[in-house]
Structure formats: structure tokens, C-alpha cells
Amino acid sequence: MRFADHLGHVERSVVSLTREGREAKAVTLARPYNTDAADLWEVLTSPERLPRWFAPVEGEFKLGGRFKVQGNAGGKILECAPPRRLELTWEMGEEISWVSVTLEELGPEQTRLTLVHTAFVSPFWDQFGPGAVGVGWDLALLGLALHLSDPSAEKPDESSFHLQPDGRAFITGSAESWGTADEAGGESADNARRRAAATAAFYTGEQPPGA
């Protein structure tokens, strides 16, 4: 299966809400995986398995513990109810947002993963829209799918993924899908398309339109 074919397995939505008295957006991704909830929970929370599909993560893997994703965000674990629900803060510099993951068994060997990333509306959001976080999570869910299908396989090279035709198609398709979700969430068609194009350009290393 080509990388871009995985995009069709993900449901995406964008919802406006208020958090701590401020305007915020909740970006949601959901897709099924062919494994049980216990195995999927282990893949998501095991410091040994996380580097095989996501990135090395250090810290205290328990309720209230703090963690750090290598080369990315850190945060605090706010809720941990195995094998059903995980919630944590997602902190980069002075910016804070929230990520929750819920697992729902659909059958003996199929589990639905729902990831919600909630962030305050900011100039960064105004420029890139939901794809700013959505494309990154699409890439993570792709890595998870590839790992579950073949745990011994090497994960795609992050440094060159955007240079490969299949990787570029995945990133562009993800950004366009988030543009569609952005519009469905109430954004104007012109703004949704503009932000999707800016997100695709950001992830592929090109200059955003108008830059």
C-alpha cells in the first residue's frame, strides 16, 4: 500500500470551543487498527516501542509524570486509564495545548484510536489552521500503522520523507484533507485552502504562498 493510501483510513474534524476562558480549536483524528486495545495501548505508551514508530520519549510514564519527546514537545500526564484513555499536556516553549487518546475495541482484533489535540487560537493557527498539528499527527498515525503491520520494519526516514514522491504526496494529501476539515468546521473556503497550502509548503520545505 502506498503511503498516501493511508490517508483514507483517517476521519478528521475541527471543532471550535472555549478552554480556560479563551477561544480554542479541537483537532480530531480517528482510525481503526487491526489489533486489540491492550496491544495498541502498549505501542502508544511503551518507551521501548515508541521509538520504532514515533520518537524516543523520556520521563515518568505514570499519572502526574512529566515526559519529553526527543526533538519535539514535552508535557505532563493528566489522565492514564489503561487500556482506554490517555490525556496529557503538549508543551513547546511557552505554548501549551492538550492531547487525549481514546481506544475503543470494535472487535477481537480491531481497535479504534481517537486522538484529540486542543489548542488556543493564535497567529500560528490563523496562518496554518488545523493542518499545523494535523499533518504531524497524520504522519504519526501512518508510522503506527506501518509498525503494527510489520514490527520489525524500519520506520520511514523523517529527514528525507518529504523529498520522496510518495512522502510528498502523503504530506500534500494530508494538508488538503485538513483544509476540507477546516472548511467543514466553519472556516471560509478561501481561508481553508490558503492555510492548507501554507501547511503543505511548511512540511515539504517550500515557502508558503505570499511569503
Q: Could you tell me if 92 and 84 are in contact, meaning their C-beta atoms sit under 8 angstroms apart? A: no
Nearest CA-CA partner of 147 in 51, 77, 58: 51
3-state secondary structure of 152: coil
Distance CA 173, CA 165 (A): 12
Whether residue 83 is preceded by a cis peptide bond, meaning omega within 30 degrees of 0, is: yes
Long-range contacts of 68-76 (CB under 8 A, 24+ apart): 75/99
**pLDDT tens across 43-66, in order?**
999 999 999 999 999 999 999 999
CA–CA–CA angle 113, 141, 124 (5° rounding): 105
**pLDDT tens across 93-136, in order?**
899 999 999 999 999 899 999 999 999 999 999 999 999 999 99
Helices then strands, each counted (H, E), the chain: 6, 8
The pTM score is: 0.95
Distance CA 75, CA 98 (A): 9
What's residue 207's pLDDT?
Answer: 60
Q: Domains along the chain?
A: 3-204 (3.30.530.20)
